[in-house]
């Protein structure tokens, strides 16, 4: 299915996602270096934990409110607040001085708003699509996001430390642009049926009840756990695996017997990250066309197997060429997995609680990212082979859960009727 065949609102949303991803990825990956330089590593860890919590709280609130008031209002408020936040960040890192703690306060505001807007963004895509086209939409979304990440990261690598003020202003301008495009060209995609009955109950209590009922949805919770395991393993590359490579390969070693190229652990980490990005950007559309006629369940299971097998090898090997080949397998698996899993997710959520479900899923994603820190802690006590076994076990568990979830079933929609 071609991009031009999608609903105009989805086309606009995907283009805005490319712009916002490109601008934000020019600054976000380098913030940990910024804060470490100004407040130290320990305080940086504490500050980022607080920022992460603010994102979770924003997701919980934004997901719930979006299902009660509509998507567009939440998206507009979110983007306008993010714009204000980045303007504040820019002026606290200008020629007038650098104020890291005030910058941190603004990033709490930014991440809270980002968390609030994300469930509405995701629900909007589902609102304006049908099940038959969602796999194509998520394929384009995945591809576009990775292109934006690659471009933004490259720009930030060269400009972040010398042109920090202008990068923050650039993010503010692109966010304001997204705000106006959304206001002018994206209509409301969801109008709640009735809000009268909700006014009789405390909003806080009702929101809590909504999320408790989601936890009672066994199928959706299992899907979230299986996805959490996938994300957790993926995040190890720039955390535990990256540190392992740097420690175990401190000196340059020959890449392959037929090449004179020599690389150390840090070089290898950069190559593996670049390889993953290049493969995703260059081969997503080609591979998607090749597997488009295949059974989704088979594509999902093969993709998961390749992904976890690749990362299990990467977590233990010290041989450069084997690491590169393993990343090739993992990247191909990732390309196969993402569109199918996102389509499964979108088809699971009930129409009247899409943002609430997406907020819950976003929290599972954040927890998956957070487990990378747990691996970093236990890597000080456990040998690499134990952590490799743990990664392999996580892969087997995720594969098993997805295998059971992807079985044809007729009871999924029935489970949703009384969930929220």
Letter string b/e over residues 293-302, b meaning 16 or more CB atoms within 10 A of that residue's CB = eeebbebbbb
Task: Give the angle 300-305-310 at the CA atoms, nearest 5°.
Answer: 130
Contacts of 49 (CB under 8 A, 6+ apart): none
Q: Distance (Å, rounded) from C-alpha 136 to C-alpha 134?
A: 5
Considering only CA atoms, which of 155, 181, 180 is closest in space to residue 9? 181
Q: What is the pLDDT along the chain (420 residues), one digit of tens a residue?
A: 678 888 899 999 999 999 999 999 889 878 877 887 888 877 877 888 888 889 989 998 999 888 888 899 999 999 999 999 999 999 999 888 889 999 999 999 999 999 999 999 989 998 888 888 888 898 899 899 989 988 888 888 788 878 899 999 999 999 999 999 999 999 988 887 655 444 544 567 778 888 888 888 899 999 999 999 999 999 888 778 888 888 888 887 777 777 777 788 878 888 888 889 889 988 888 888 888 778 888 999 999 999 999 999 999 998 889 999 999 999 999 999 998 998 899 888 888 888 889 999 988 888 888 777 778 778 878 899 999 999 999 999 999 999 999 877 644 443 333 333
Instruction: Identify the residue whose tokens are 């090898």.
Output: 313
CB-based contact 316:239 (threshold 8 Å): no
**Strand pairing partners for 97?**
94
Q: Distance (Å, rounded) from C-alpha 395 to C-alpha 400?
A: 9
For residue 289, count other CB atoms closer than 10 A to its CB: 10
């Amino acid at each position: 299915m071609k991009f031009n065949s999608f609903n105009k609102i989805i086309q606009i949303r995907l283009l805005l996602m490319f712009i916002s991803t490109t601008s934000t990825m020019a600054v976000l990956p380098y913030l940990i270096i910024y804060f470490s330089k100004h407040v130290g590593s320990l305080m940086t860890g504490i500050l980022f934990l607080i920022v992460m919590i603010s994102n979770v709280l924003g997701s919980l609130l934004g997901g719930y409110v979006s299902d009660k008031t509509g998507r567009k209002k939440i998206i507009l408020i979110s983007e306008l607040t993010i714009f204000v936040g980045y303007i504040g960040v820019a002026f606290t890192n200008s020629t007038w001085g650098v104020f890291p703690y005030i910058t941190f306060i603004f990033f709490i505001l930014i991440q809270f708003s980002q968390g609030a807007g994300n469930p509405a963004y995701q629900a909007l895509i589902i609102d304006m699509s049908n099940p038959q086209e969602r796999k194509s939409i998520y394929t384009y979304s995945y591809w576009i996001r990775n292109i934006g990440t690659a471009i933004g990261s490259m720009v930030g690598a060269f400009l972040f430390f010398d042109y920090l003020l202008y990068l923050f202003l650039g993010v503010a301008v692109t966010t304001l642009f997204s705000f106006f495009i959304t206001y002018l060209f994206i209509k409301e995609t969801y109008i709640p049926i009735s809000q009268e009955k909700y006014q009789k109950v405390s909003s806080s209590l009702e929101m809590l009840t909504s999320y408790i009922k989601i936890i009672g949805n066994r199928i959706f919770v299992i899907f979230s756990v299986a996805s959490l395991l996938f994300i957790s393993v993926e995040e190890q590359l720039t955390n535990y695996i990256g540190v392992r490579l740097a420690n175990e390969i401190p000196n340059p070693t020959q890449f392959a017997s037929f090449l004179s190229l020599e690389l150390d652990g840090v070089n290898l980490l950069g190559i593996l990250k670049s390889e993953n990005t290049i493969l995703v950007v260059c081969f997503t559309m080609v591979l998607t066309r090749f597997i488009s006629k295949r059974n989704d369940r088979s594509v999902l299971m093969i993709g998961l197997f390749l992904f976890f097998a690749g990362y299990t090898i990467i977590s233990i090997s010290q041989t450069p060429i084997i690491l590169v080949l393993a990343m090739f397998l993992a990247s191909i698996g990732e390309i196969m997995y993402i569109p199918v899993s996102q389509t499964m997710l979108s088809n699971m959520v009930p129409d009247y609680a899409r943002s609430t479900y997406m907020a819950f899923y976003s929290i599972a994603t954040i927890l998956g990212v957070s487990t990378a820190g747990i691996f970093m802690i236990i890597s000080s006590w456990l040998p690499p082979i134990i952590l490799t076994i743990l990664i392999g076990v996580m892969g087997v568990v995720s594969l098993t859960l997805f295998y059971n979830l992807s079985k044809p079933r007729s009871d999924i929609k029935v489970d949703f009727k009384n969930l929220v």
